[in-house]
Every structure is written in C-alpha cells, then in structure tokens.
Amino acid sequence: MVQKAIQEINKTVSQKWSIMEICGGQTHAFMQYGLNEMLPEEINLIHGPGCPVCVTSLELVDKAIAIASHKDVIFTSYGDMLRVPGSEGDLFSVRAAGGDVRVVYSPIEALKIAVNNPDKQVVFFGIGFETTAPANAISVIKAHERGLDNYSMLVSHVRVPPAIHAILGSPNNKVQGFLAAGHVCAIMGIDEYKPIAEKYGVPISVTGFEPLDLLLGILQTVQMLEKGQFQVKNAYPRVVRDEGNLQAKKFISKAFIECDRQWRGIGLIPMSGWKLRKEYQSFDAEFRFNVENIQTKESEICISGLILQGQKKPYECPAFRSICTPQNPLGATMVSSEGACAAYYRYGKDLNGQ
Ligand code: SF4
C-alpha cells in the first residue's frame, strides 16, 4: 500500500513543492520509516514548529526551574521537559540539588499528588498544543470544585493556527502546502484552517501519523497544489471529525482564554496561546509564585529558531552531532522525542551523508 501511494505521488507531481508537516510527531514518523527518502525529489519536506517541548519559551523554563527550587514545592512535569536547557541548568539539576521534581503522565496524576500532600504546593508544568489542553483544563476545574488550595499550573499552551499564520505571513516563507496535525484537529476540528487556506492560497491536508496516513496527506496536498486548489481536506477521517471533539472544546473554553505567547526560537506570536481565565487565576503558578523578574540567556550556538521556522535543517547547525547530542542537548529541539534535531540524530543523515 505504501508503494502504491508513492507511485501515485510520483505520477501526480510535476514540479518542485515545499510542504510543511506542522507536527514534530509527523517529522519523526517520516524519518523513522524512511518515507522522506522514498518521496520524489520534487517534494521538499519542511519541518514545522509543532513540538511543544521545543517551543516552550526559555522564560517559562526558567520560571519552572525557579518554582521547582522552592522548598515546599512538588514540581510535576512530563519527562521531556526535565532535560530542556534553561538559562542555567534544567529541572533535572533542581532534582539533583534536592528539589522534589517528579515525572507524571497526566495533570490528573499531579492533582492526586496535591490531594495526598496537603502540606505541599504541587505545581504541574502545563505545556502543549490543543491536544493536552482538555486534560489540563479538567485538572484545574476539578481543583477549583474541590477547593484545593495547593494545586497550580504553570501554563505554556500554544495553538497551531496562529503559528501557521506567522509562518505563511513571514517574508521568508517557503511553504506552499501544509500537513495539519491530525491529533490537534481531532480536538479542535478543521474550521479554523479554512480561512488560512483561502487567505494565503495554500492547500492543507489533515494528516495522521502512520506511514500510510502521511503519504495520503502528501498525495492529497500534491493533488491540490497541482490543480491550484487551496482547500482544507481531511486525510485522517477515521479520527478527525469536521467539528472536532465538542466535549473537549467545552472544557478548554471553560478554563482557558486566548493570549499572546512567546515561542522559543521564534518570538511572540499574537493570540497563539491559552492562559487560565480570571476565575481560575488562583491556580496559575505564575500568579501564585513571584517569578516575574527572570533574566533569560539563550545559547549563542543553537539555531533551533531557524529550524522551527523551516529555514534550516538540523544538519546545517555546526553543533549537530558534535557538541549537541541527545545526551548533551544545547537546545530543546535535541531533547524532545518530537524535536527535529533529535529526529535527524536518530534516523537521519548529516551533510556528509553519514
Ligand atoms: S543541533 Fe543542537 S545546537 Fe543545533 S539547532 Fe539543534 S538543538 Fe540547537
């Protein structure tokens, strides 16, 4: 089936096209299965900024480190975030120095820790795109309902559509078509993408994560590009409904409101984030802890910002594979299981074809 899809793409493509897969999970799948090497050379895959660990701002990472260093705090987070470099050190270094930093698999687990440790302040690092927002929203709503005063969240939510606007509106943009992230659309639906396709004249295909899903997304995008169609099509109908998950969206809008958000390596993207609504402000860790005056210092070597914007490939970074490795990451894109640098390190080639 994969070979048939590749043949179909070969038959359809007549010129060079640059297509961005927005999600880091899709980048990893392309590399892991070698699909990038099976595609015709006319198709240039550009890797997008859809890795929540990679784009969580340095300021928020530093705030997480400052909060986790408080002696009465249990700081909880997904595992990847513990190794993301802050200005000085990471969350692992807080743990090594005696801080109580724990890996959890959901905010509900963090909530349980708060219930079981009433004499501690429990903070959850609420990172992620639209996919993690419903569970994060539910944890805050539940904490509010139970009157828990020792649970809070350091919110770092980002949203995909404003990022696509920023990429397509950039004077350096090279992207001609998009693979939208199927899991994000499973939550939010596809309506937000239609005005983007029309405004910028780009086709968007909602795409899943298995090899065949990815190739069908590419095929659908190339078919639209070749015909000059700028629509949003769903190549992942077994998971994504046009309207998304209405119940999940209800929880998100109950707890969160849109806000401007800093993206690491990219900068401020207007209305590209969510923050807690005023009625839940007391559950906002930035509000609960005084972490306003954080001075950040980014690595001078790391070019992850250019990689996240699709302007460079990881192997074009002089530190790639030499001083920057998954064991010793200089930037977040080398840490995360969805980061482009980590994907090239595990599955890809460097400039010498090695
Ligand atoms: S290889 Fe390392 S230093 Fe270079 S861009 Fe990627 S994360 Fe940054």
Question: Measured from the CA of 331, which atom of ligand 1 is nearest?
Answer: 7
Tell me, yes or no, whether 58 lies in a domain.
yes
pLDDT score, position 310: 80
Q: Are residues 258 and 335 in the same domain?
A: no
Distance 339 CA to ligand 1 centre (A): 10
90 vs 336, more confident: 90
**What value does the mean pLDDT take over residues 3-30?**
95
| 62 inside domain | yes
Give the position, in ligand 1's atom list, of the atom nearest the Cα of 307: 5
223 and 325 assigned to the same domain: no
Residues 293 and 341 both lie in one domain:
no
317 lines ligand 1 (CB under 6 A): yes
Considering the domain architecture, whether residues 99 and 233 belong to the same structural domain is answered as yes
Q: Mean pLDDT, the chain, as a whole number?
A: 93
Specify whether 27 is located in the same domain as 141: yes
- The pLDDT > 70 percentage for the chain reads 98
166 lines ligand 1 (CB under 6 A): no
Give the chain's domain count. Answer: 2
Say if 287 falls within a structural domain.
yes
Q: 261 and 309 share a domain?
A: no
Does 219 reside within a domain?
yes
Residue 280: inside a domain, yes or no? Answer: yes
Residue 354 lies inside a defined structural domain of this protein: no
Residues 295, 310, single domain; the answer is no
User: Which of 299, 320, 336 marks a domain boundary?
Assistant: 299
CA–CA dist 218, 235 (Å, integer): 9
Please state the atom number of ligand 1 nearest to the C-alpha of residue 304: 5
Residues 75 and 57 in one domain: yes
CATH number at residue 28: 3.40.50.11740
% of the chain residues with pLDDT over 90:
81
Residue 272 in contact with residue 260, Cβ under 8 Å? yes
Closest residue to atom 1 of ligand 1, CA basis: 320
Distance 316 CA to ligand 1 centre (A): 9
Strands (DSSP E) found in the chain: 17-23, 43-50, 73-77, 100-103, 121-128, 151-158, 177-181, 204-207, 232-234, 256-263, 267-276
Q: Does any domain span residue 353?
A: no
- Tell which wins on pLDDT, 354 or 59: 59
Region 287-298 average pLDDT: 86
205 and 233 share one domain: yes
The two three-digit tokens of residue 210, written as one number? 């298995």
Measured by CA distance, the residue closest to atom 7 of ligand 1 is 331
Higher-pLDDT residue of 42, 298 = 42
pLDDT digits (tens, 9 = 90+) for 99-148: 999 999 999 999 999 999 999 999 999 999 999 999 999 999 999 999 99
User: Do 223 and 329 sit in the same domain of this protein?
Assistant: no
pLDDT category, 352, cuts 50, 70, 90? very low
Residue 354 reports pLDDT greater than 50: no
Would you say residue 149 has pLDDT above 90? yes
Digit-coded pLDDT (tens) for 169-221? 988 899 999 999 999 999 999 999 999 999 999 999 999 999 999 999 999 99
- Do 337 and 266 belong to one domain? no
Question: In whole angstroms, what is the distance from residue 75 CA to residue 96 CA?
Answer: 13
Q: How far is the CA of 241 from the centre of ligand 1 (A)?
A: 36
Q: Is the pLDDT of residue 298 over 90?
A: no
pLDDT of 353 reads: 42
What is residue 68's predicted lDDT score, i.e. its pLDDT?
97
Angle at 70 between CA 67 and CA 73, to 5 degrees: 85
Distance 261 CA to ligand 1 centre (A): 22
Is the minimum distance from the CB of 334 to ligand 1 under 6 angstroms?
Answer: yes
The answer on pLDDT for 349 being more than 70 is no
From atom 3 of ligand 1, which residue's Cα is the shortest distance away? 302
What digits encode the pLDDT tens for the residues 26-66? Answer: 999 999 999 999 999 999 999 888 889 989 999 999 999 99
* 155 has pLDDT over 70: yes
Mean pLDDT of 241-262: 97
Residue 78 domain flag: yes
Contact indicator for 312, 303 with CB cutoff of 8 Å: yes
CA atoms of 255 and 265, how far apart (whole Å): 28
Task: Please report the atom of ligand 1 found closest to the CA of residue 334.
Answer: 7
Strand, coil or helix: 125: strand
Using a 6 Å cutoff on CB, does residue 314 contact ligand 1?
Answer: yes
Probe residue for ligand 1, chosen from 90, 298, 315, 317 as the CB with the greatest number of ligand atoms within 8 Å: 317
List the domain range (segments joined by +) for residue 73: 1-299
HSE toward the beta carbon, residue 87, CA cutoff 13 A: 13
State whether 113 and 203 are in the same domain: yes
